[in-house]
Amino acid sequence: MDISIVGTGYVGLPAGTGLASKGHDVTCIDIDQEKVDKINSGECPIYEEDLPELLEKMVSEDKLRATTNTEEAIRDSDITFLAVGTPMKDDGDINLDYIKQATKDAAHGIKNKDSYHVFVVKSTVVPTTTEEEIIPILEEVSGKKVGKDFGVCMNPEFLREGTALNDFLEPDRIVIGELDEKSGETLEKVYEGFEAPIMRTSLKAAELIKYASNSLLATKISFINEIGNMCKELGIDVYEVADGIGMDSRIERSFLDSGAGFGGSCFPKDVRALINFMEKNNVDPKITESTIEVNEKQKTRLVDLLEEHYPSLENKTVAILGLAFKPGTDDIRQSPAIDIISELKQKGADVKAYDPEAIQNMKERHPDIEYTESYQKAIENSNAALIVTDWAEFNQISRKDLKSMDEALIIEGRKIRHKLDDGITKGINWP
Ligand code: UGA
């Protein structure tokens, strides 16, 4: 099929490249000319596992291209995916500005088309947005009738940053929210080569499935962190408890890794948006609110543990190992490291920080701390090191590294499980 995708970010580009590899003809649309030029020269503008190689191949085989001309791309395609961002506003609601502008641009394309077109919302939007915000714009600007001249679907994504391409190509399920049968049938054809169950549902159920999925995963993390805090008191290892719980197939082991709390551009934003949406609909969001509350406290629990060792942090040198919200990315959005550094600075500590990918981004947030080129340099002469992101290289912390510290204290906010007898290694939620 001829497919156009609006937005070449962490969702649009892996999806577009994945669809091209399944035999579709894909045109990616972006307002950023530089990004468009990069893609057309076979260069991948974002950091994602396996994406650069496949993107280059698809561009060279002329299965994938990019443009800034929305109207033309829509006119020449059968179906359009909307994959632009929905960032969080200060009040926790989602910002629909990009969605609305991109929808208007797309509607101009639909206006100039003679044949039936399907518009698919892939961006994360709260329930009823497609029906109440997006469809009215499409109808008004195109002058055409939804359900007759064009169809609409809501097709949420479940991609993780870093492994988005593989998550796209091998999904657990494909959710198709449809305005009507014809819209859903058309979208289902796009996924013909995928080996995943396809669920057809309403537009607003699809929208809610996305929020409920992310919120439940976030809740699993907060729950295991709460259990972990209990484990710490009892002197037992929360990872053993998680393994024991996770052997129950009804519960499952994933997303039960306790640590310094969840971050990223999705969980914190989506849980907050769901809370706001529930409140607006007179539903008391007790569990989802607690998920955020537990997470907020969890983020600086590492500092609490540090203070058990050093009642005053004044002039203590603390190394932060890991700044990204998870390994495999340079993304620091909502990363626990941001709050941990603020708290340490406020308590008078000198902070040294290291991350293999995310230093540049953190410098914009915390320009006034010292950044080092290796973890060894960060922990050298420090009074303690806090592991905030579980980058594999931190497994290599050696006895020699410990000897270089003023005091050999390491507190793991992510379980690295290295055992060094001549230093003190504490876990956030394990002995
Ligand atoms: C998440 C979801 O996993 C995706 O399914 C979803 O599509 C995406 O949000 C989105 O809405 O776009 P992502 O934010 O990329 O993906 O990252 P995850 O790998 O899910 O990790 C999120 C956070 O939870 C990280 O800070 C991670 O360290 C933390 N985490 C994860 C834990 O603390 N414990 C765990 O067991 C798992």
Q: What is the pLDDT of residues 240-272, one digit of tens each?
A: 999 999 999 999 999 999 999 999 999 999 999
pLDDT in tens, 199-223: 999 999 999 999 999 999 999 999 9
The confidence score (pLDDT) of residue 147 equals 97
Please say whether the beta carbons of 300 and 260 come within 8 A.
no
Q: Which of 392, 396, 429 is nearest to 412 (CA)?
A: 429
Q: What whole-number percentage of the chain has pLDDT above 90? A: 89
CA separation for the pair 20, 15 (Å, rounded): 9
372: CB partners within 8 A, 6+ apart: 352, 353, 354, 378
* Domain pair 211-298 / 300-427, same fold: yes
pLDDT in tens, 119-153: 999 999 999 999 999 999 999 999 999 999 999 99
Q: Whose CA is nearest to atom 1 of ligand 1?
A: 160
Of ligand 1's atoms, which has the minimum distance to the CA of residue 161?
15
Query: Is CATH 3.40.50.720 the classification given to domain 300-427?
Result: yes
In total, the chain counts a number of residues equal to: 431
Q: How confident is the model at residue 416 (pLDDT cuts 50, 70, 90)?
A: confident
Tokens 């007179």 — which residue?
282
pLDDT in tens, 55-90: 999 999 999 999 999 999 999 999 999 999 988 898
Letter string b/e over residues 386-395, b meaning 16 or more CB atoms within 10 A of that residue's CB: bbbbbbeebe
Residue-range domain boundaries for the chain? 2-201, 211-298, 300-427
Fold (CATH) for 2-201: Rossmann fold (3.40.50)
Of ligand 1's atoms, which has the minimum distance to the CA of residue 218?
24
What does pTM read for this prediction?
Answer: 0.95
Does the CB atom of residue 209 touch ligand 1 within 6 A? no
369 or 329: which carries more pLDDT confidence?
Answer: 369
The confidence score (pLDDT) of residue 154 equals 98
Q: Is 266 a catalytic residue?
A: yes
Q: Which of 115, 33, 104 is nearest to 79 (CA)?
A: 115
φ, ψ dihedrals at 68, nearest 5°: -100, -5
Of ligand 1's atoms, which has the minimum distance to the CA of residue 325?
26
pLDDT in tens, 418-429: 555 566 778 888
Query: Is CATH 3.90.650.10 the classification given to domain 211-298?
Result: no
264 CA from centroid of ligand 1 (Å): 7
Q: Mean pLDDT over residues 30-44, rounded?
A: 96
Tell me the two tokens of residue 286: 């007790």
Please check the confidence at residue 346 and state whether its pLDDT lies above 80: yes
Q: Mean pLDDT over residues 151-169, rounded?
A: 97
CA separation for the pair 201, 368 (Å, rounded): 51
CA separation for the pair 134, 124 (Å, rounded): 13
- Best probe residue, ligand 1, of 157, 217, 296 (max atoms within 8 Å of C-beta): 217
The confidence score (pLDDT) of residue 1 equals 96
Q: Whose CA is nearest to atom 30 of ligand 1?
A: 262
The confidence score (pLDDT) of residue 21 equals 98
- The partner residues of 81 in beta bridges, in order of sequence, read 5, 120
